[in-house]
Amino acid sequence: MEKNTSSNEYIVIKAQEDGVSVIGLTRGSDTRFHHSEKLDEGEVMIAQFTEHTSAIKIRGHAKISTAYGEVESEKKS
Ligand code: TRP
């Protein structure tokens, strides 16, 4: 079982268009992409911050729900 260093909270990402990317960035002094997940419209990903993941980048139009509130990412115009 992977250790979770920050919290047990999840974030919920719901794609509002095809091809939304959910990108996990590594924890620690070296910050790089370690995983990229593609979501099509209507698909949902539920993710946590973990020992390996300190930041999550979302590209494309999606609704993001967190313990801090809701935000919508927009597609590049
Ligand atoms: N193996 C990764 C981890 O435990 C899986 C993961 C967790 C992930 N949260 C993520 C991948 C967010 C992408 C985005 O950290």
pLDDT tens per residue, range 13-66:
999 999 999 999 999 999 999 999 999 999 999 999 999 999 999 999 999 999
Helix (H, G, I), strand (E, B) or coil at 20: strand
The pTM assigned to this predicted structure is 0.92
Q: Determine the residue of 32, 35, 49, 59 to mutate for testing ligand 1's pocket, defined as the one with the most ligand atoms within 8 A of the Cβ atom.
A: 35
What domains lie within the chain, and their CATH numbers?
Answer: 10-72 (2.60.40.50)
pLDDT at 1: 57
pLDDT at 76: 87
pLDDT at 4: 61
Q: Strands across the sheet with 69-73, in order?
A: 44-48, 10-15, 62-66, 69-73
Which atom of ligand 1 has the smallest separation from the CA of 50? Answer: 15
Dihedral sign for Cα 30, 33, 43, 76, please.
Answer: positive
Query: Of residues 16 and 9, which shows the higher confidence score?
Result: 16
CA of 77 to the centre of ligand 1 (A): 28
